[in-house]
Structure 1
Amino acid sequence: MKEEAYGAVEIPDKFYFKIGEVSDIAGVAPYVLRFWETEFKQIKPKRTDAGQRLYRKQDVALVLRIKHLLYHRKFTIEGARQHLKKKPGPIPEPVPVVNVPDIAEIREELIRIRELIDGHRR
């Protein structure tokens, strides 16, 4: 598994992260991430139809960068905002949004496949 590191924190190599996963990776509470979304417009997690946040790897890296500026370098929120404007960092390529079927859809499809297989055995 390929991983990117920010300081001592490694970001797993996957397309999307739920807010709980980002919270664990960054070591901040989910409410802090939701607050940072309002303060830093660069953090733009995708939303599922159910409204669940899906953070991309670049969002996670930005969260770690913001945490470093606020917690370690002791920037104010405004100071961190200004710093990010001056030094925005690399712009990663966009990740295509993939609609993931839910478990019920997968189960229904597997049942249809099993019925097809059973029908051919007779």
Structure 2
Amino acid sequence: MKKLMLLFAGMLMLGIVAVNAQQVDTTGVTPSPQQEQPSATQQPSDQYIQKDYDVVKSADVPASLRTTLKGSEYTGWESGSVYRNKTTNGYMVRIGSGDQTKNYYFDKGGKRIQDPGSSSRP
């Protein structure tokens, strides 16, 4: 009987420890919901920007890409953001703001390419 009571007490303690372990954060910082999941307005390509791309100043945009960006589809690119892919040396141009933001992808020669985060054509 004593062994049975000790077994029950041990299981009860294990259950309490397991419940508390799920609630304890070793860093002392409670993650916000935005850190856990991307927001609904965040575009998939935002995931790539921080780790895969470097910001390029408008003055440093190569001539081949500047020629492509003269098209009417890219009006306003000068006030947008241009990024260079660290791996492929391709470019991403973001035009607009908020829900109206559009991303365009280009190879290192300035030719428009498919979004690396999707399977659809540009």
Query: TM-score, normalised to structure 2's length?
Result: 0.27
Of Structure 1 and Structure 2, the greater strand share is in 2
Structure with the greater alpha carbon radius of gyration:
2
- TM-score after normalising by structure 1: 0.27
User: Higher relative contact order by CA 8 Å / sep ≥ 6: 1 or 2?
Assistant: 1
